[in-house]
Amino acid sequence: MWDGLEGLVLNRQHKTPGGFGQSAADVNGFQWSKADMMEVEGIYTEVFECSERKEASAEADPVMLSSTLSLAPLVESSPSVHRSQPIRITSNRMKGSDSYSSSVPSIPNPFPELCSLAKSPLLISSLPPESSQKHLIKVYGEDNNCKSVWVSRRATAREVCHLLVHQAHCSDQESWALFEHHPALALERCLEDHEVVLEVQAAWSLKGDTRLTFCKNYAKYEFFRNPTLFFPESMISDSADVSKGMTSSELIQNLLRSGTCPEIQGFLHMKEPSRKAWKKVYFFLRRSGLYSSTKGSSKEPRHLQCVADLDNLNVYTVVNSRKLYGAPTDFSFCIKPSRNPTRVQDLKVLCAENEQTRTCWTSAFRLFKHGKQLQSNYQLSKSTPRSLESSAPTDLKAESSLVAMDFSGKAGGRVIQNPTEAQTVGMEEGQAWRKREALRCSLPTVNSAARPSSIHKSQPWFHGGVSRKEAERLIEKQGLVDGMFLIRGSQQHEQCFVLSLCFQLKAKHYLVIPFEKGGRKYYTIDDGVTLFIDLLQLVEFHQINKGILPVCLKHPCVCVTL
């Protein structure tokens, strides 16, 4: 202990009336004078050694003198003991000793794959990928269940949709889209295919509840296919018709091919800031921005007031605008800055008279902002099924062991190499099976319990007992394209169903009622003129024949589960 405390020196201010003795202490020889040493009972002796004073300091104040405190052992012959010192413990395994391993037999690991994080099937989905450029995002489905996926820093909305299509095993690979949804503000918009997802999320408020939703959008590029429906002649500005002798439809088609849009004009209801009142204003949408006229529908520059710049804003559809914003109609949309967090004071809510007018304004906003980029996205979307098939993982292709065969010849069968022929044969086989099933179920010997009356429950176009308003909301969200449909259970008529069909930007509803004939049960939508054994046969028939419907059934409303 003395060796450990030999270097301990404490400086003190010792108050003495006359100082210590004049003889210096010999520390190395353990010799002190009685005047210079003061003992303390115990194992150690507290020794105060006076510092050397010069003759010039003899006249200094004797009250405060510096002294040195040292601890010296009373018994010099006591053995040297090292206490409070770290003890180094050497491991036998470090030295190569196997004394422990020889006594305990080695037990083989029965699950070696669980000990490796890289190969663990339980943790592989929760671990980040090897690349540090990957980021985790959450995407919600129509059923409000979310899925976390790893995407690259520059991943676009189109790439994220392709990834979700493969992970969700969607049979239909077309027209999928990502929606930006603000539940608190009732705003939503479809992300363009070229938009970077992480850049879109960077503009969100940290305290908000904004989310990404994965669902169908058939009308994303529908204005390229049917421009006259989306851009009525009455809303095209007169100044846009620079070429004489050109019809409105020809003008629109020429502008769309070049990636531009004609100037749009018309009346809209605008919510005044800091007030609940709505005012009807005449607006002009040009390449330079959105303008409002302060004097009726005047186009003179002195009467035009700039409302928004198209480069720094996004267009959103307002859900339930009557209840939340007091809008005069349900056809509202909103424009807000794209690089700032969503705030109520930054919103400019506009309201149209009908759905066609709202669709025209929102489509024109997209075309003026993105221009030729939308034309490139449209051309790329038409090749989506082929690109997805070519980019499918090799292991998924290897699992497919079924091939299309043709047994109509005398040789006993051949493999169909042409994909188009294989698809046609598959459709013919499916229709032939439906005919045989319909004939079997119509036989008198078959009771009603053996019929496949619940086969519609497994179809993607059947949505159970959703309400009429919810069905219209789902059709509106997925594009309002002619031929989009769903079937739901009727809430007013027992054992009946409702076919909800979109035609000319409106949802129409047709009652499907059960019909008994010859002791057998059928379904009909035309008062018994055409009978179907189940809803699946009804849908397959109207996909080829219009019947009493204004258009054939084409696009089913699908709700995917992530």
Residue-wise pLDDT for 268-316, tens only, equals: 999 876 677 899 999 999 988 999 999 888 888 899 999 988 888 899 9
H/E run at residue 553: none
- Quickly state the pLDDT bin for 420 (edges 50, 70, 90): confident
Q: Which pLDDT score is estimated for 257?
A: 72
Of residues 265 and 57, which shows the higher confidence score? Answer: 265
Task: Output the 3-class SS for 28-71.
Answer: CCCECCCCCCCCCCCCEEEEEEECCCCHHHCCCCCCEEEEEEEE
Residue range 448-503, pLDDT digits in tens:
444 446 788 889 899 988 999 999 989 988 988 999 999 999 999 988 999 999 99
**159: pLDDT confidence band, cut at 50, 70 and 90?**
very high
Q: What percent of the chain has pLDDT over 90?
A: 30
| Tens digit of each residue's pLDDT (9 = 90 or more) over 2-35 | 444 444 443 444 444 444 444 444 444 444 444 4
Return the SS3 of 346: helix
Which pLDDT belongs to residue 227? 83
Looking at the structure, give the CATH architecture of the domain made up of residues 222-384: Roll (2.30)
Mean pLDDT is highest, among 246-250, 387-391, 491-495, for 491-495
Residues 6+ positions from 466 with CB-CB distance below 8 Å? 474, 488
Model pLDDT, residue 88: 59
Domain boundaries, the chain: 2-73, 134-216, 222-384, 451-556
Q: What is the pLDDT of residue 271?
A: 83
Q: How far apart are CA 9 and CA 78, in angstroms?
A: 22
For the chain, give the mean pLDDT. 74
What's the count of helices (H) and strands (E) in the chain, helices before strands? 15, 22
**Does the pLDDT value for residue 554 go beyond 70?**
yes
- Contact criterion met (CB below 8 Å) for 498 and 486: no
- Mean pLDDT value across residues 38-56: 45
Lowest mean pLDDT among 105-119, 407-421, 544-558: 105-119
> Would you mind telling me the total number of residues written for the chain in this entry?
562
| Type of residue found at 555 | H
pLDDT band at 555 (very low <50, low <70, confident <90, very high): very high
Query: Which residues sit opposite 176 in a β-bridge?
Result: 216
CB 403 within 8 Å of CB 415 = yes
**Residue with the larger pLDDT of the pair 360 and 74:** 360
What does the pLDDT average to over 67-90?
50
Q: Which fold has domain 451-556?
A: SHC Adaptor Protein (3.30.505)
Give the separation between CA 188 and CA 212, rounded to whole angstroms: 10
- Sign of dihedral through CA atoms 210, 212, 218, 220? positive
Q: Could you give the count of Cα atoms lying within 13 Å of 165 in the half-sphere of its Cβ?
A: 23
**Lookup: tokens for 494:** 């027992």
More confident residue, 424 or 224: 224
Contact 268, 350 (CB under 8 A): yes
Between 38 and 458, whose confidence is greater? 458
Alpha carbons within 13 A on the beta-carbon side of 479: 23
The residue ranking higher by pLDDT, 403 or 126, is 403
- Range picked from 114-123, 238-247, 422-431 for highest mean pLDDT: 422-431
Using DSSP bridges, classify how beta strands 520-524 and 506-517 pair: parallel, antiparallel or unpaired.
antiparallel
> What DSSP state is assigned to residue 478?
T
Tokens standing for residue 123 = 């943790």
Lowest mean pLDDT: which of 180-189, 229-238, 448-457? 448-457
Look up the CATH architecture of domain 134-216. Answer: Roll (3.10)
Global pTM value: 0.64
Average pLDDT of the residues in 84-112:
54
Average pLDDT of 206-226? 88
Pairing state between β 484-489 and 555-556: parallel
Q: Residue 219 pLDDT > 50, yes or no?
A: yes
pLDDT at 363 over 80: yes
pLDDT digits over 113-137, tens only? 555 544 444 444 445 555 557 899 9
* Residue pair 190/209 in contact by the 8 Å Cβ criterion: no
CA 6 to chain centroid? 69
pLDDT at 198 over 70: yes
Q: Contact at 8 Å (CB) between 264 and 284?
A: yes
Find out whether 517 and 528 touch, Cβ atoms under 8 Å: yes
- Asked if the domains 222-384 and 451-556 are classified in one and the same CATH topology, the answer is no
**pLDDT digits 0-9 by tens, 326-336:** 999 999 999 98
Report CA Rg, the chain: 42
- pLDDT at residue 260, as a whole number: 74
What's phi and psi for 405, nearest 5 deg? -125, 150
Q: Which of 470, 496, 471, 503 is nearest to 486 (CA)?
A: 471
Strands (E), 141-240: 146-152, 176-182, 187-190, 211-216
Cβ contact 185:342 at 8 Å: yes
What are the backbone angles phi and psi of residue 41, rounded to the nearest 5°? -65, 140
Confidence of residue 548 (pLDDT cuts 50, 70, 90): very high
**Per residue, what are the HEC states of 97-148?**
CCHHHHHCCCCCCCCHHHHCCCCCCCCCCCCCCCCCCEEEEEEECCCCCEEE
CA distance 525 to 371: 44
